[in-house]
Amino acid sequence: MSKAPARIRKAVFPVAGLGTRFLPATKAMPKEMLTVVDRPVIQHVVDEARAAGIEHLVFVTGRNKGVIEDHFDQQFELERTLAERGKDKELAALRRDLPAPGQTSFTRQQAAQGLGHAVWCARDIVGNEPFALLLPDMLHFSAVPCLAKMMAAYEDVGGNLVAVSPVPEDQTQNYGIVGVRDPEDDVTEITTMVEKPKPGTAPSNLHITGRYILQPEIFELLERQKPGAGNEIQLTDAMLGLLERRDQDFHAVRFDGELYDCGSKLGFLMANVAYGLTREDLGEPFRAALSKVVGKLG
In angstroms, what is the minimal distance from the CB of 11 to ligand G1P?
Answer: 16
Q: Residues 6 or more apart from 90 whose CB is under 8 A from it? A: 82
Give CA separation, 234 vs 101, 193, 199, 204, 276, in Å.
33, 12, 19, 19, 34
Using CB under 6 A, pick the residue from 40, 62, 210, 276 that binds ligand G1P.
210
Asked if 165 interacts with ligand G1P (CB under 6 A), we say no
Q: Which is nearer to ligand G1P, 40 or 228 (CB)?
A: 228
What is the pattern of x (binds ligand G1P, CB under 6 A) and - over residues 167-206?
--------xx------------------x-----------
Other Cβ atoms less than 10 A from the Cβ of 254: the count is 19
Q: How far is the CB of 46 from ligand G1P (least distance, A)?
A: 17
Choice from 8, 45, 138, 150 touching ligand G1P (CB under 6 A): 138
What is the smallest separation between the CB atom of 115 and ligand G1P, expressed in angstroms? Answer: 5
Of 38, 34, 33, the residue nearest 71 (C-alpha): 33
Say how far apart CA 202 and CA 138 lie, in whole Å: 21
Judged by phi (left if over 0) then psi (alpha if -120 to 50, else beta), residue 91 lies in alpha
CB of 114 to ligand G1P, least distance (A): 8
In the chain, % helix, strand, coil (3-state, to 5) comes to: 40, 20, 40
Give the residue closest to ligand G1P by C-beta. Answer: 176
207 binds ligand G1P (CB under 6 A): yes
For ligand G1P, the binding residues (CB under 6 A) are: 115, 135, 138, 175-176, 195, 207-210, 234-236
